[in-house]
Amino acid sequence: MANRAFAYYPGCSLHHGVAKEYDVSSRLTCRALGVELREIEGWTCCGATSVHLSSRLLAAALPARNLALVGKMGLPMALACAMCFSRHRYALHEMEDASMREKVAGALGDGVPADVEVRHLLQILDGVDIKASRSLDGLKVACYYGCLLVRPLEVTGFDDEENPQAMDRLLASVGAQPLDWGLKTACCGAGMGLPRQDMVLRLTGRILRQAVAEGADCLAVACPMCHYNLDSYQKAIGGGLNLPVLYFTQLLGLALGFSPHELRLDKHLVDTGPLLRSRGLV
């Protein structure tokens, strides 16, 4: 497959450490699959959870600044973080309204390109011809998409809102056995971990217990926030939960022959070692 180049936006979580492993594994797998990720020079925060609650203009203008940079690179944009993906798609959606577009351009002091293509890694890797060096061999993966990746459809523009399939397809193509389960898009509690930990424990507990009940060996995620909630609260939820939570790029990386160390699998709180050893993936 010919090389395809994208303007890569890591975002704060992937850049500053919380989800460094997502960044590392994304770059590794993409390189191995002939997808070139060129980091956008001078990218800034998308606004994440807080900005769109306080200012509609700022929530569009922050991603628009990045979109302008991407426009100058002349490449489609690639994102890994579900939140950043959602914010950039929202900005495009908001700017379909001409008056909003004008306001954003005014705030930036510069024009905003209209035709930037904003894509999530899952969209980019979906359908790529993958030569796996080892099969995930029936690993039962509960693919978890969370709230922002595929909803609302008119903003994200891909996959089935209620029963998304892109991650399932991708991991099935390297031998995993994705589960048909019901909480793929159920909320994990997002940023409520500090103000309302009880609620996050209830929501993450429900997702994790359901995945275990369906026989999952691990969860695959595409969002640093979801990963944080699902991975780090398992002890607090209790009930002997011990379900590894991996980024889908890490699972893909394993199939492509990268080592757990290269994929930074040691960064998770729930130990992935026993699972990988029992499956012969290390």
Partner 1 sequence: MARIGVFVCHCGTNIAGVVNIQKVVEAVQLLPGVVYVADERYTCSDVGQTSITQAIKEHQLNRLVVAACSPRMHEATFRQAVARAGLNPYLLEIANIREQCSWVHSKEKEEATEKAIELIKMAVAKVSRDEPLFPRKVGLTKRALVIGGGIAGIQAALDIASAGIETVLVEREPTIGGRMAQLDKTFPTLDCSSCILTPKMVEASHHPNIRLMTYSEVKAVRGFVGNFEVDILKRARKVDESKCTSCGICWQKCPEKVPAEFDRELGKRSAIYLSFPQAVPNKPVIDLPHCRYIKFQEWQKNPQGKKPMECRICEKLCPPQAVDWSQQDEMVTEKFGAIVVATGFQTFDPTGYGEYGYGRYPDVITGLEMERMLSASGPTGGEVRRPSDGEHPKTVVFISCVGSRDEKVGRPYCSKICCMYMAKQSIMLKEHDPEIQSYIFYIDIRAAGKGYEEFSRRAQEEAGTLYLRGRISQIYRQGGKLMVMGEDSLIGRQVEIAADLVVLAAGVEPATGAKELAQTLHISYDQYGFMNEAHPKLKPVETNTDGIYLAGACVSPKDIPDAVANGGAAAAKAMGLLSQESLVTDPMVASVDPMKCISCFMCQEVCPFHAVDKQKLRDGREVAVINESLCKGCGLCVASCRPGAINLRGFTNQQLLEEVTSLWR
Q: Residues interacting with partner 1, by CB under 8 A?
A: 160-163, 180-183, 185-186, 210, 213
Q: Which is nearer to partner 1, 35 or 220 (CB)?
A: 220
Q: How many CB atoms lie within 10 A of CB 274?
A: 11
Q: How far is the CB of 209 from partner 1 (least distance, A)?
A: 9
Q: How many CB atoms lie within 10 A of CB 162?
A: 11
Q: Which is nearer to partner 1, 30 or 208 (CB)?
A: 208
Taking CA 125 as the corner, what is the angle to CA 113 and CA 218, rounded to the nearest 5 degrees?
125
Q: How far is the CB of 210 from partner 1 (least distance, A)?
A: 6
Q: Which is nearer to partner 1, 163 or 232 (CB)?
A: 163
Cβ neighbours of residue 82 under 8 Å, at least 6 residues apart?
A: 120, 145, 146, 148, 149, 222, 223, 225, 226
Q: How many CB atoms lie within 10 A of CB 117?
A: 13
Q: How far is the CB of 182 from partner 1 (least distance, A)?
A: 2
Q: Which is nearer to partner 1, 98 or 213 (CB)?
A: 213
Residue 238, by phi and psi: left (phi above 0), alpha (psi -120 to 50) or beta? left
Q: Which is nearer to partner 1, 177 or 232 (CB)?
A: 177
Q: How far is the CB of 214 from partner 1 (least distance, A)?
A: 8
Q: How far is the CB of 183 from partner 1 (least distance, A)?
A: 6
* CA pair distance 74, 20, nearest whole angstrom: 27
